[in-house]
Structure 1
């Protein structure tokens, strides 16, 4: 390591001199660093556009999904009956009577005032289909029996209830419906049915005169309208459920696409803007790639359907170069011509944006993707050169420090010699006057 030699002999500020010389030497490296910064700014701008185009691509996927355009919504004439629709639901109407609600099977058994609750060391629960489950009893008390049942897989829950006439063991099925009812054997005192487990039932029309009956173990019915689940919570007659086309899902998909495209346009405009005051442009000012992309985002709408414009379907271009969606026109279009609206917006317009997005952001062939990858490669190359310059500049600084240290040493020797010579001359005899 070379130590500082400032002003030892020469009085020069060699540290400052070396620093200034190194600044000159480092100028090529500084230019490389500037190029790295400029490229990173450019790459960040491309990545921002890439992200917006990914959002456009994702929005087109919803438009391309058939269920977006065939969604239905359900309504019920009764607050005690709910309607839920699946992606395969069809439109339709069904009127029915709720005859029974599914119930859970419940049995009770009086706990003996003294002695064992269970005869032996197990209880057996048997279901209507003949399958049975044994529950081993290790603690032959009311609570011990309940604990054993609750930790078993018998499909029964037990509790000990204290009544005015003593303790009672209550056994309840873990779900509703006839199939989950049971009998229990092995108790000291017999068990009685408090509530019979039954299936719920609805009648559509008169079952004796062309109508039919549906049953359910949980009060939910899927056979009234295809793809629709109806759930009843009260016995009543004359309930009507209806499913109709629901354009809200398609409308939201269109809102998402329009917003995604407009966001992409705004991002391109921001990165391409020129500031006349500062006379500086954004990182993408004058960039041919994004300029072409912006034109394509707009022309997807402006070129129309082939037989007309998208305005009849609610989509048009504004004067400031953005997409607009007229919700009223869209709803009128999808209500009057759902197939045509889907073809124009879902297939034609959505397809154009899907293709445009893939052309630009495909992970292997996308134009923006390739530019970003090339930029990353360029930055790596520049950083390698910068690293080489670090080594070169370090060696140069060491050489300068050594050079100036040697200079000070040489000047010191000269100074010593000059002092010696002066002393020698001073010691010479002088002639008498």
Structure 2
């Protein structure tokens, strides 16, 4: 590494001089950095806007009837139970308006049982090994217990097997346990089956008799009265008794009828519309806030004067104006003076109850138009916003390459200046040495 002593021969601070010269030279590259920062700011803003427009498209989609099923947020129903202490219900988009009355005769449970002999925890339960078969439903496995095994070991062997059951040790007194076995599934076919092996000792002789604790059972709903019929399910919930409806019993009570009413989910519709309006306002707000001039900082937002994003805002607002047959006011939506949208749930609910068909039609038409605006802007193939983001990203890449080349030139220029000043210092040093020698020679000449 070379050692540079600035101004050794000339008395001039050449290091500072080179630094000042380079600072002046680097001014020409300031525009490149500014250009890259501007392009990157635009990319960041447009990417955020792109995400918001995609969200707007998603919010619009749920309001448009499906081309195959006709389902939308406006065909959804909600379920109410006349007695939530006995049964509740939930719905999917496949549910339709209707009503069903039933009683809960039983609730699904898993079969279980326990061996009646108790053991001290962590101690041997038999000096000899033994085998037995355990299972539930269509699953079973042979359990081979080694001599000296503890009751905890037996439970672990059962749990590692593919027998369709779960085993646990239950503490019935301090450090005293018995083995309980429960089916891994529920339903009438979930009984626990224990079969002794063919050699002695047997499971029964070691663990004791296996006694049933809980009888396996299905959930059984009685539809109608004496002339009705039963519906059973091996699980607690009864699914699709009516299309898209899941009935969840809370307790069995065969004497108390429960009615499940399925009605239009107006609150759900309002929530979807509110999300639709919010998504639109998010996109409009991004364009608006990034298109302003800051008079204090004397700077403009990254979208100031940007015709494309201004056009997108206008397209969204135009889509929300609807048509003569699909007015936004029908949905409780209004366009404010500042261009933002407002949703009035009370007006929507009143309009829907008065004329649900007109409200449903208006929602579908307006949402379709908004969805088209979103798709044309955000399409991965040829969306206007997508292509603009790609163009700005290319600008950032180009600016970065130019800055790299500029920095390379500046490094070379700085090295050249250092070499030139170093050569000058060397020459001046030699001249000074020669001058000092001449002065010394002159001093030796006779003066008289």
Matches within 5 A, 1:26-425: 26-64=26-64, 66-78=71-83, 79-106=85-112, 111=117, 121-124=130-133, 134-139=142-147, 143=151, 148-157=157-166, 172-181=182-191, 183-186=193-196, 187-188=204-205, 196-207=215-226, 209=227, 211-222=228-239, 224-232=241-249, 233-237=251-255, 238-302=257-321, 304-345=322-363, 347-425=364-442
SS across alignment from 2:216: coil
**Residues 59 and 253 of structure 1 are in contact (CA less than 8 Å); yes or no, is this contact kept in structure 2?**
yes
Match of 1:21 in 2: 21
**Residues 146 and 160 of structure 1 are in contact (CA less than 8 Å); yes or no, is this contact kept in structure 2?**
no
Alpha-carbon separation, structure 2, partners of 1:157 and 1:423: 110
TM-score with structure 1 setting the length: 0.83
**Residues 59 and 256 of structure 1 are in contact (CA less than 8 Å); yes or no, is this contact kept in structure 2?**
yes
- Please say which of residues 263-272 and 350-359 is displaced more in the overlay: 350-359
Compute the displacement of 1:311 (Å): 0.6
Larger-gyration structure (1/2)? 1
Deviations 1:340-394 (A, max 9, x none): 333322x322222222122222223222222222222222222222222222222
Deviations 1:185-237 (A, max 9, x none): 43457656565434343322245x4x222223334334643322223312232
**Residues 176 and 217 of structure 1 are in contact (CA less than 8 Å); yes or no, is this contact kept in structure 2?**
yes
Compute the displacement of 1:138 (Å): 4.0
Alpha-carbon separation, structure 1, partners of 2:412 and 2:149: 91
SS across alignment from 2:62: helix
Structure 1 pair 390–125 and aligned structure 2 pair: CA distance change class (3 A) = closer
Structure 1 pair 328–183 and aligned structure 2 pair: CA distance change class (3 A) = same
Alpha-carbon separation, structure 1, partners of 2:403 and 2:213: 87
- What is the count of residue pairs matched by the alignment? 422
Compute the displacement of 1:262 (Å): 0.9
TM-score with structure 2 setting the length: 0.80
SS across alignment from 1:214: strand
Long gaps (5+) in structure 1: none
**Residues 111 and 214 of structure 2 are in contact (CA less than 8 Å); yes or no, is this contact kept in structure 1?**
yes
Alpha-carbon separation, structure 2, partners of 1:168 and 1:392: 85
SS across alignment from 2:221: strand
Alpha-carbon separation, structure 1, partners of 2:159 and 2:438: 113
Compute the displacement of 1:258 (Å): 0.9
Deviations 1:114-157 (A, max 9, x none): xx99x99443458788x865444445999476665454444345
Long gaps (5+) in structure 2: 120-124, 197-203
Alpha-carbon separation, structure 2, partners of 1:394 and 1:126: 80
**Residues 94 and 240 of structure 1 are in contact (CA less than 8 Å); yes or no, is this contact kept in structure 2?**
yes
- Please say which of residues 310-319 and 224-233 is displaced more in the overlay: 224-233
SS across alignment from 1:26: helix
**Residues 140 and 164 of structure 2 are in contact (CA less than 8 Å); yes or no, is this contact kept in structure 1?**
no
Alpha-carbon separation, structure 1, partners of 2:406 and 2:242: 76
Compute the displacement of 1:403 (Å): 2.0
Structure 1 pair 315–9 and aligned structure 2 pair: CA distance change class (3 A) = same
SS across alignment from 1:179: coil
Compute the displacement of 1:272 (Å): 0.9
Q: In angstroms, what is the RMSD of aligned CA positions?
A: 3.6
Alpha-carbon separation, structure 1, partners of 2:140 and 2:446: 137
**Residues 330 and 359 of structure 2 are in contact (CA less than 8 Å); yes or no, is this contact kept in structure 1?**
no
